[in-house]
């Protein structure tokens, strides 16, 4: 196997694959970054335009007698490259002014919006709502400038017009499609890929078959090439960025120069604030362009540097990946893997489709979820990279380190903190144990009865008794909740028939628990019944006959024959139903909804509430990981005890 060339060839191939991966990924990253920069450029210039025009429109305290139409016409005339624009007023549902080509003749502004122009009014209303929302929450959450792609590939922008602090309408512009297209230089990438390979071929002759030195040589070459390419990318990106900011500044200066004369067309002169025009979609100024229209060099430098730091992180990740690949191929891992794959190719062929799906849609989301659990991601920070909101084990410490389960109230009564993890955990365990006990005992008793030889109507009973399993559980859960309704529910009616008082089921933890238990018990016994019935029917009648001949009582037969034969079927069923019940989301969520005050929440519904009602994604993820670990520990112990998976 180990020919004289094998080490050199391996490392050579490893280096080629590794550097192809590294440079290829880096090239793709650069291309994506430049494409984004190009889009950002169109968008930012359009934002400057729409913001400048909005300021001009908003500056008119009272529209002049001709309305706003002259202003828009003047704006278009003074700035030849200007896109068509519209001004929509919310009050009166009016199109105040428009330079859109379709708004001419009998459609010329100013006029009332027509029925088919409702989207325009809706957009203005949305912007109004967005501004109000952000203002009342004190945080930018909803975008205040809407950017849409037009069918022709251009950008449609809409920005709210404010007067005296209230949104009164919007300005809309539509820029044409951008035709510019940039691609990164492929020759540099090719060189960065080919050079280390060529150098390796050269040097490896000198080094010979010493694998550690060969490995070191390949690693150094790879790192060098990647570093060179990273510097190249950084320079390209910096040039792009400067060009972009310069273009934005130029547009700002052009608007600044033209606006006074545009305003004078409607005989108004108002102060303008060019430094606020270059803003993000929440109308927060980027502060890169100063009031005089020049670039703020210092800020720009800082921005570029911070972007470069991010890019370096990405490149480091790519490098690590490539190094791992290089080592894997170089030290023979790939060769061994190849042999294994070839030897078992039939088995792997059968498994691949399922495994691929599992990896993409089950295992990867799981790992991603674990990564989220180490951050304090909330609904506001979903677009930030995880490394920026990394908090380490803080979430876990908060969940597991909080022991304030109960405190003494002023009158000495014990008050539980239902949001505490340990309360919920305790509740979940009680919930699981009760449910599985009910499911198994009711299921087993019914199976034993149904297995009585010669009992009439057996098939009918069986069909009716399996029904709860067959009907979708979210339907029956909602019906059970209705049956426990304090006023209209039939259960309280029944209690009253027997002279009792109606119970407000969902106002005390215990009664609330009973409702969920009743529902889930009802849902889960058919499964156990079917499993037990199957196992019972597989016991040969001769064994019982033999036992009877020996004089065994019925109880003895049950203990010595029935139970042991049930065990192999029942134990896996119990294990799986423990896991199911522990995570029985639908019943708790739909029947008790955690009432009262979250006391009947189980772990999984609590995690759901943290994620989708409090929007604390990071915390909820950590909570879920804890649930997973609990189940994993349970599964491992159970597995050890029953040796259920030993035979695989």
Site residues for other proteins, 415-444, by CB under 8 A, read 442
The answer to whether residue 522 forms part of the interface with other proteins (CB under 8 A) is yes
Nearer to other proteins, 479 or 543 (CB): 479
The verdict on 543 binding other proteins (CB under 8 A) reads no
Tokens 């909570």 sit on residue:
623
d(CA 152, CA 616): 40
- Tell whether residue 632 is a contact of other proteins (CB under 8 A): yes
The reply on whether position 479 binds other proteins by CB under 8 A is yes
| 502 is an interface residue for other proteins by CB under 8 A | no
**Residue 488 CB, nearest distance to other proteins (Å)?**
3
Helix (H) / strand (E) element for 251: namely helix 211-265
* CB closer to other proteins out of 94 and 609: 609
- Is residue 517 close enough to count as binding other proteins by CB under 8 A? no
Label the pairing between strands 146-149 and 166-175.
unpaired
**What does the per-residue mask of binding to other proteins show for 560-579, with x meaning CB under 8 A?**
--------xx--xx--x--x
Give least dist CB 636 to other proteins, A. 10
Applying CB under 8 A, the site for other proteins has a residue count of 103
Q: What span, in angstroms and rounded, lies between the C-alpha atoms of 632 and 638?
A: 10
Q: Shortest distance, CB of residue 577 to other proteins, whole angstroms?
A: 12
Q: Hey, which residues between 347 and 376 contact other proteins (CB under 8 A)?
A: 347-348, 350-351, 353-355, 357-358, 360-366, 368-370, 372-373
For residues 350 and 380, which CB has a smaller minimum distance to other proteins in the complex? Answer: 350
> In the chain, how many H helices and how many E strands?
21, 8
Residue at token pair 């570093």: 227
User: How far apart are the C-alpha atoms of 522 and 476, rounded to whole Å?
Assistant: 10
Shortest distance, position 325 Cβ to other proteins, whole Å: 20
Please classify residue 461 by burial: count the beta carbons closer than 10 Å to its beta carbon, then call 0-12 exposed, 13-18 middle and 19+ buried.
Answer: middle
**Residue entry with tokens 């590294």:** 22
Residue 81 found at the interface with other proteins (CB under 8 A): no
H or E segment to which residue 432 belongs: helix 421-450
**Shortest reach from residue 464's CB to other proteins, in Å:** 5
Q: Residue 163 — φ and ψ, nearest 5°?
A: -130, 125
Q: Comparing C-alpha atoms, which of 478, 477, 484, 480 is closest to residue 502? A: 484
Distance, in Å, from the CA atom of 90 to the CA atom of 50, rounded to the nearest integer, reads 18
Which residue is listed with tokens 């929509």?
Answer: 88
By C-beta, is 220 or 631 nearer to other proteins?
Answer: 631
> Cβ closer to other proteins: 174 or 601?
601
Among 204, 255, 473, 512, binds other proteins (CB under 8 A): 473
From 102, 412, 472, 542, residue interacting with other proteins (rule: CB under 8 A): 472
Of the pair 79, 604, the CB lying nearest other proteins is at 604
**By the rule CB under 8 A, 449 interacts with other proteins:** yes
Spatial separation of the C-alpha atoms in residues 198 and 16, rounded to whole Å: 10
Does the footprint of other proteins cover residue 533 (CB under 8 A)?
A: yes
454 binds other proteins (CB under 8 A): yes
Least Å distance, CB 403 to other proteins, is 23
- How far apart CA 251 and CA 616 sit, in angstroms, is 41
Please report whether residue 309 would count as binding other proteins according to CB under 8 A: no
Indicate which single residue of 334, 378, 635, 638 sits in contact with other proteins (rule: CB under 8 A). 635
DSSP 8-state secondary structure symbol assigned to residue 459:
H
102, 152, 487, 613: which one contacts other proteins (CB under 8 A)? 487
How far, in whole angstroms, is CA 623 from its chain's centroid? 16
Between 185 and 493, name the residue whose CB sits nearer to other proteins. Answer: 493
Considering only 246, 486, 496, 556, the residue that binds other proteins (CB under 8 A) is 496
List the one residue from 1, 179, 309, 470 that touches other proteins (CB under 8 A). 470
Pairing mode of beta strands 155-163, 146-149: antiparallel
Who contacts 311 (Cβ-Cβ below 8 Å, separation ≥6)? 29, 33, 230, 233, 234, 237
Question: Binding to other proteins by residue 507, rule CB under 8 A?
Answer: no
Which tokens hold the place of 610? 């943290």
């Amino acid at each position: 196997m180990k020919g004289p060339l094998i080490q050199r060839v391996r490392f050579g191939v490893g280096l080629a694959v590794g550097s192809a991966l590294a440079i290829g990924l880096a090239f793709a990253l650069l291309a994506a970054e430049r494409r984004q920069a190009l889009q950002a450029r169109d968008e930012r210039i359009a934002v400057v335009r729409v913001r400048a025009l909005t300021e001009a429109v908003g500056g008119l305290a009272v529209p002049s007698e001709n309305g706003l139409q002259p202003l828009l016409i003047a704006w278009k005339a003074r700035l030849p490259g200007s896109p068509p624009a519209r001004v929509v007023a919310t009050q009166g549902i009016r199109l105040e002014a428009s330079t859109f080509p379709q708004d001419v003749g009998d459609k010329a502004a100013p006029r009332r919006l027509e029925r088919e122009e409702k989207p325009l009014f809706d957009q203005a209303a949305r912007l109004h709502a967005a501004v109000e929302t952000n203002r009342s929450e004190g945080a930018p959450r909803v975008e205040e400038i809407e950017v849409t792609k037009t069918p022709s590939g251009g950008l449609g922008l809409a920005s709210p017009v404010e007067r005296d602090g209230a949104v009164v309408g919007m300005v809309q512009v539509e820029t044409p499609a951008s035709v510019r297209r940039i691609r990164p230089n492929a020759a540099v990438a090719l060189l960065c890929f080919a050079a280390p390979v060529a150098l390796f071929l050269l040097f490896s002759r000198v080094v010979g078959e010493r694998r550690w030195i060969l490995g070191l040589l390949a690693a150094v070459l790879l790192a060098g090439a990647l570093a060179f390419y990273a510097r190249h990318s950084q320079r390209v990106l910096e040039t792009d960025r400067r060009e972009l900011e310069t273009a934005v500044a130029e547009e700002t200066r052009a608007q600044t120069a033209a606006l006074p004369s545009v305003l004078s067309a409607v005989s108004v002169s108002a102060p303008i604030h060019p430094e606020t025009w270059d803003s993000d979609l929440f109308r927060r100024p980027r502060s890169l362009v100063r009031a005089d229209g020049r670039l703020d060099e210092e800020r720009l430098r800082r921005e570029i540097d911070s972007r470069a730091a991010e890019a370096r992180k990405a490149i480091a990740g790519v490098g690590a990946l490539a190094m791992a690949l290089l080592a894997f191929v170089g030290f023979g891992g790939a060769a061994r893997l190849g042999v294994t794959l070839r030897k078992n190719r039939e088995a792997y062929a059968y498994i691949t489709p399922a495994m691929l799906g599992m990896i993409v849609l089950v295992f990867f989301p799981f790992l991603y979820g674990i990564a989220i659990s180490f951050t304090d991601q909330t609904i506001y920070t979903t677009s930030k990279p995880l490394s920026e909101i990394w908090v380490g084990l803080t979430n876990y410490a908060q969940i597991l380190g909080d022991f304030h389960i109960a405190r003494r109230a002023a009158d000495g009564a014990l008050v539980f903190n239902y949001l505490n993890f340990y309360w919920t955990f305790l509740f979940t365990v009680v919930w699981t144990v009760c449910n599985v006990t009910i499911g198994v005992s009711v299921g087993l008793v019914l199976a034993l009865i149904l297995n009585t030889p010669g009992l009439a109507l057996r098939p009918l009973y069986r069909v009716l008794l399996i029904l709860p399993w067959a009907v979708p559980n979210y339907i029956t859960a909602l019906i059970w909740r209705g049956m426990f309704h304090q006023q209209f529910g039939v259960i309280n009616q029944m209690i009253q028939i027997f002279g009792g008082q109606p119970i407000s089921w969902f106002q005390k933890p215990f009664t609330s628990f009973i409702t969920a238990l009743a529902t889930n018990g009802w849902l889960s016994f058919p499964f156990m019944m079917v499993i037990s019935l199957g196992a019972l029917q597989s016991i040969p009648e001769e064994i019982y006959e033999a036992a009877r001949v020996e004089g065994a009582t019925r109880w003895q037969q049950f203990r010595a024959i029935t139970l042991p034969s049930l065990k192999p079927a029942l134990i896996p069923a119990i294990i799986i139903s423990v896991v199911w019940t522990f995570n029985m989301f639908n019943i708790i969520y739909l029947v008790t909804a955690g009432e009262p005050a979250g006391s009947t929440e189980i772990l999984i519904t609590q995690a759901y509430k943290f994620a989708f009602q409090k929007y604390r994604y990071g915390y909820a993820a950590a909570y879920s990981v804890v649930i997973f670990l609990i189940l994993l520990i349970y599964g491992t112990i159970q597995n050890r005890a029953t040796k259920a998976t030993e035979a695989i």
